[in-house]
């Protein structure tokens, strides 16, 4: 959650960690993002809602340059990451992403799944990578499962390994794209609890989810997207209780049943 008590007078204090300016993304003739502008501040938890096909995943994928935006700018920690010379690997080190599918290596146990990118990308030694991996696995509640292989873990546990893997890179921002959508209902809670703890610990997070209770309790801001534009941007209270558009009201009513 946003560290609203931080009133430090440094000139950078109000600089957003991510500034998105008039972001557009098309696939051929299909316009998917149609001018998104948004500032995200350090420690903020932004939940992104919207109907299927509204561009939520494309938006997240542009943020860490899994997609190249068609036009517009994204400044991340002051650097324009849409610039042709932007170092995509460096961006992804600082911006972790967790997907609906966990994408763990089946032939590696949990700790080695978490060690791999640390060794390959950050060039950490085996021993340091292992130390960090064990620490991050403990943080997601899997200290006892570090030598289990993916097929010996539940979906929820596998997703928590994927979160530990992302955290081991010490990202400054975490993106979650429907991280709990592939899980059986009884496994969702453990993953949401980990996400909640991260938020409480001050992590900056952009979270696409259909979990309305998470959005209500944890989000500092809720964004509602439709047709590749932001149609609502406010506190959970504003968006859930007083949505500007009828469409948002209908969507929220539908997903909360």
Positions touching ligand ATP (CB under 6 A) are 27, 30, 32, 50, 52-58
- Determine whether 176 is exposed, middle or buried from the number of CB atoms within 10 Å of its CB (0-12, 13-18, 19+): buried
Residue 32 binds: one of ligand ATP, Mg ion, none (C-beta under 5 to 8 A by kind): ligand ATP
209 lines the binding site for Mg ion (CB under 5 A):
no
Q: What does 27 interact with, of ligand ATP, Mg ion, none (CB < 5 to 8 A by kind)?
A: ligand ATP
Residue whose CB is nearest to Mg ion in the complex, by number: 57
Which of ligand ATP, Mg ion, none interacts with 187 (beta carbon under 5 to 8 A by kind)?
Answer: none
Per CB under 5 A, which of residues 55..74 are in contact with Mg ion?
A: 56-57
Asked if 54 interacts with Mg ion (CB under 5 A), we say no
In a 13 Å sphere around the CA of 134, the CA atoms on its Cβ side amount to: 7
> Shortest Cβ distance from residue 65 to ligand ATP (Å)?
14
Contact between residue 156 and residue 191 where contact means Cβ atoms under 8 Å apart? yes
> Minimum CB separation from Mg ion for residue 177, in Å?
6
Nearer to ligand ATP, 69 or 150 (CB): 69
Return the closest-CA partner of residue 223 out of 47, 17, 35.
47
Question: Which residue, 27 or 105, is less far from ligand ATP as judged by CB?
Answer: 27
If the CB atoms of residues 50 and 69 are measured against ligand ATP, the closer one turns out to be 50
Task: Please name the residue ranges forming H helices in 33-150.
Answer: 56-63, 88-94, 110-120, 126-139
Q: How far is CA 180 from CA 100, 131, 145, 207, in A?
A: 6, 27, 20, 11
Q: Which is nearer to ligand ATP, 7 or 52 (CB)?
A: 52
Q: Which is nearer to Mg ion, 108 or 182 (CB)?
A: 182
Best CA proximity match to 13, nearest among 37, 47, 43: 43
Minimal distance in Å, beta carbon 60 to ligand ATP? 8
- Smaller CB distance to ligand ATP: residue 20 or 167? 20
- Contact residues toward Mg ion (CB under 5 A) are 56-57
């Amino acid at each position: 959650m946003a560290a609203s008590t931080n009133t430090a007078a440094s000139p950078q204090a109000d600089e957003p960690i991510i500034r998105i300016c008039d972001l557009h993304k098309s696939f051929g003739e299909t316009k998917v993002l149609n001018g998104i502008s948004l500032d995200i501040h350090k420690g903020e938890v932004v939940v992104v809602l919207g109907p299927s096909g509204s561009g939520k995943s494309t938006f997240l994928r542009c943020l860490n340059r899994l997609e190249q935006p068609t036009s517009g700018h994204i400044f991340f920690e002051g650097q324009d990451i849409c610039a042709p010379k932007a170092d995509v690997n460096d961006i992804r080190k600082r911006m972790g992403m967790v997907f609906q599918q966990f994408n763990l290596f089946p032939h590696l146990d949990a700790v080695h799944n978490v060690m791999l990118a640390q060794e390959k990308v950050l060039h950490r030694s085996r021993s340091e990578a292992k130390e960090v991996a064990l620490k991050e696995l403990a943080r997601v509640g899997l200290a006892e499962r570090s030598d289990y292989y993916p097929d010996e873990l539940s979906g929820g546990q596998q997703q928590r390994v994927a979160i530990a893997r992302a955290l081991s890179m010490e990202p400054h921002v975490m993106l979650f794209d429907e991280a709990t959508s592939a899980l059986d209902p009884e496994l969702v809670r453990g993953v949401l609890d980990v996400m909640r703890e991260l938020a409480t610990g001050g992590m900056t997070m952009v979270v696409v989810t259909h979990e309305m209770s998470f959005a209500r309790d944890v989000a500092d801001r809720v964004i509602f997207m439709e047709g590749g534009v932001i149609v609502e941007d406010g506190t959970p209270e504003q968006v859930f209780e007083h949505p500007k558009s009828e469409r948002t009201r209908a969507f929220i009513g539908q997903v909360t049943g």
